[in-house]
Structure 1
Amino acid sequence: MILLLILFLAGCQWFPGYEKDVDVGLLLETSIDDRSWGQQGYQGLQAVQEEYGVDIYYKEEIRSYQQSAEAVEELVQQGAEVIFGHSNIYGSHFRELHEAYPEIDFIYFNGQFAAENVTSLNFDARAMGFFGGMVAGEMTKADQVGLIGAFEWQPEVEGFYEGVKYQNPEAEVDVALLNSWENTELALMQYERMKGKGADVFYPAGDLFAVPIIEQAEADGHLAVGYLEDQSSIAAQTVLTSTVQNVDEVYKLAMERYLNGSLPGEALTFDFSEGAITMGEFSPVVPEEFRDNLEEEVENYKETGTLPQ
């Protein structure tokens, strides 16, 4: 009986909900209340705490390597054994730091660098962009769509363009890349330029400028596709749908692997099939028949990994 009890207790770590005495730290490029990527990171950290009962710590506005080095040391002194870096910038920072902290597991987003104690988490975002583009292509009345992105490497930017053209070959897609997640002023300037050329549906694919663009589109009587979060609550009629990255789910998946001893120290990719990416609520203005068709296409993609052609 004692032997069976010991074996049972030893195996508890493999069951969902198992709690281990672990401290988890988080580095944020922005803040926990930026209404965008930073806030999602903090919510992911909270989800890990709620799911696994760990202690959590976080550092905001960590952007330079020196700031990262100091923050990591502070988190380690506080007892952190796992440190999430909620941005691709932490890939290069962790590349320099990980050998000095071999007992720490470093996890960051949107990069390809990995090491024995460094894992990167990546969203395969082309498909979410494609389905968002299908909605925009269907709903534009002027056959003019505005895409305001941050960087050329964003797979959702390419996917959105492809989705618009698939759904509406006659539509023109005006693309502006800001080389910044945060430059709201420049994003609004590009919005005004695109509006002046006739665009009536917009996709603001950038962390901090998505909400201001949606609010301006609502004020102007135009439409938009939300980014990162379900942004229907901002403007239910204006936001046709949203391309949602469920960051909290990815945090929990990564933490589960850590607790089970299966965090690989490599680049991991997550998509619709893992529940890491979903489409948001549809605006009432989106026709039901089109919405049903899009949902079927999403389900088909989850099963086959193939986008509409």
Structure 2
Amino acid sequence: MKLVYIVPSLILAVIIAGLLTFNVKKKNTDITREKTKVAMIMNGSIEDHSWGQSHYEGMRKTAKELNLDVMFRERIPADRTSEEVMEGLIAAGAKIVIANSFQLGPYVQNVAVKHPDVKFFHASGLGYSKNMSTYFGRIYQMRYLSGIVAGMQTKSGNIGYVAAFDIPEVIRGINAFTLGVKKVNPNANVIVRWTKSWNEDKACARATRALWAHHDSIDVLTLHTDSQEPLRIADSLGLWLVGYNLDNAEMYPEHFLTAPIWRWENFYTPHILNVLKKKFVGRNYWSGANSGVVDLAPLTNHVAPETIDLVNSERKKIQNGSFDVFYGPIEDDTGTIRINEGESMSDSDMLNNFNWFVKGVIIDEE
């Protein structure tokens, strides 16, 4: 009879020991149990309805999922001031520092060297180190799709494009958009005006008004700035709008068509989780259509069904790898073949050497 009682007792003891071991193991591996401090350095505002807000909204979702305490710093200039801000946030306990502007690159690198135990992420940069990664998305793929929408929508064949600087990132977007336009409307032109500023409202408004003054046949307008002034002015003129960074259809219900947009939580969540798991690797990330980082805002009811069908078809080709935007033959604005038939542009050239425009781009200057 004693054996009858001893065996259940042993079984119970084993079960209890197992549960205790499980709980200890769970406690030791629960890497999000305690809050981690993260600093986000921004060149703009968290309420700009554009680049800055796209990072803010993405990080808020990541913070909720990973139990992060995020310290946002807005409108940080690309100078030594940014280093002082980062140093202060690290002193306040930040274990991860994120800078969301290309122009902050040199300053992020300087601070990263001084703090090897802190992990750094630099948006739209290219260099990396043991404790710093750079990241961006193949938003040019979504630019191409939005160009198809613009090309199908225009009646005049003249599409306006208000852009910040003639750097590879911006030129890549202009060219991708134009290739989308030309796919459906071979005779159309994309007319570009530079603002020389990412987010200064006055400069962006001035460039938009100058573009319209020189080319009042434009009936669709898109942009690569963080300011909403180009869309606001174009909306007041009754032009069709293709946005950027965020889906702002509710702001411009009468004229908004779509926008290439960012879903940064799909980058921040897995990569910050890797930091918490101590699996961080410094490298450059360039996420494509299948990553969820880049997307196209839902096409509004101003867009024709046949346009929607074509966009969906082209998107599937990009996602399954049977097509990408810069597949030859591609001709530049001087008539020279830049990419031969059967060839494609390398990532290195797209990232570093885009200093030319495809056929159909017109630069509007004084």
Query: CA separation of 1:19/1:86 partners in 2, compared to 1, >3 Å: closer, same or farther?
Result: farther
The CA distance in 1 between the partners of 2:210 and 2:75, in whole Å, is: 31
Most deviating of 175-184 and 241-250 = 175-184
Tell me whether 272-281 or 18-27 shows the greater mean CA deviation.
Answer: 18-27
The equivalences for 1:164-203 within 5 A come to: 164-196=181-213, 197=215, 198-203=217-222
**Distance in 1, Cα, partners of 2:310 & 2:241:** 20
Secondary structure of 2:243's counterpart equals strand
In the alignment, which residue of structure 2 is the partner of 1:29? 43
Q: Residues of 1 paired with 2:225 and 2:310: CA distance? A: 27
1:89–1:192 CA distance, 2 compared to 1 (3 A): closer
User: Structure 1 residue 156 and structure 2 residue 170: aligned?
Assistant: no
Deviations 1:179-212 (A, max 9, x none): 321243343333334434211001111111xx22
1:245 matched to 2:259: no
Alpha-carbon distance between aligned partners in 2 of 1:264 and 1:88, rounded to the nearest angstrom: 20
- Partner SS, residue 300 of structure 1: helix
Contact 1:240 1:285 in 2 (8 A): yes
Does 2:160 align with 1:146? yes
| 1:70 CA drift (Å) | 1.4
Match of 2:224 in 1: 205
Q: Which has the larger radius of gyration?
A: 2
Q: Give SS of 1:106's match.
A: strand
Aligned to 2:122: 108
The 2-side partners of 1:41 and 1:305 are apart by 30
Change in CA separation of 1:257 and 1:293 when aligned onto 2, cut-off 3 Å: same
Q: 2:134·2:283 contact (CA, 8 Å) conserved in 1?
A: yes
How far apart in 2 are the matches of 1:89 and 1:194?
26
Distance, in Å, in 2 between the alignment partners of 1:230 and 1:295 is 18
What amino acid is aligned across from residue 240 of structure 1 in structure 2?
A: L
Q: Aligned to 1:95, which of 109, 118, 143? A: 109
Instruction: Give ranges in structure 1 of 5+ residues lacking alignment.
Output: none
Note if contact 1:23-1:80 (Cα within 8 Å) is conserved in structure 2.
yes
Report the counterpart of residue 126 of structure 1 in structure 2: 140
Aligned length: 303
Task: Note the alpha carbon deviations across 1:219-256, whole angstroms, 9 max, x for none.
Answer: 22210101100111111231111111112332223212
| Equivalent-residue separation in structure 1 for 2:74 and 2:233 (angstroms) | 28
| Residues in 1 aligned to 2:33 and 2:313: alpha-carbon distance in whole angstroms | 38
In the TM superposition, what is the alpha-carbon distance from 1:104 to its structure 2 partner?
A: 0.6
Say whether 1:69 aligns with 2:88: no
Whole-Å Cα distance in 1 between the matches of residues 204 and 80 of structure 2?
Answer: 29
TM normalised by structure 1 equals 0.90
Report the CA distance shift for 1:56/1:184 in structure 2 as closer, same or farther (over 3 A): closer
Deviation at 1:20, TM superposition (A): 4.5
Moved more, 237-246 or 61-70: 61-70
String of CA shifts for 1:271-292, please: whole Å, max 9, x gaps: 2211111111222121112202
1:68 Cα offset (Å):
1.8
Structure 1, residues 12-71: CA drift from partner, whole Å, max 9, x if none?
55xxxx444411111111232233222223223322221111222122222143212211
Query: What amino acid maps onto 2:100 in structure 1?
Result: H
Equivalent position SS for 1:74: helix
Aligned residue type for 1:116: K
Q: Is contact 1:20–1:52 with CA below 8 Å preserved after alignment?
A: no
Q: Which runs of at least 4 in structure 1 moved beyond 6 Å after TM superposition?
A: none
Partner amino acid, structure 2, of 1:176: R
- Identical-residue share of aligned pairs (%): 22
Q: Distance in 2 between matches of 1:231 and 1:73?
A: 35
**Structure 2 unaligned runs (5+)?**
1-17, 328-366
Q: Which stretch of structure 1 is more off in the superposition, 113-122 or 277-286?
A: 277-286
What SS class does the counterpart of residue 300 from structure 2 fall into? coil
SS of 2:70's equivalent in the other structure is strand
Instruction: Specify whether residues 278 and 64 from structure 1 end up closer, same or farther in structure 2 by C-alpha distance, changes over 3 A only.
Output: closer
Q: Does the 8 Å contact 2:197/2:203 carry over to 1?
A: no
Q: Cα RMSD (Å) of the superposition? A: 2.0
CA separation of 1:35/1:300 partners in 2, compared to 1, >3 Å: closer, same or farther? same
Secondary structure of the structure 1 residue equivalent to 2:244: strand
Distance 1:189 1:56 in 2: 35
Task: Give TM-score scaled by structure 2 length.
Answer: 0.77
Task: Indicate how the Cα distance of structure 1 residues 306 and 262 shifts in structure 2: closer, same or farther if over 3 A, else same.
Answer: farther
Counterpart of 2:56 in structure 1 is: 42
AA aligned opposite 2:281: P
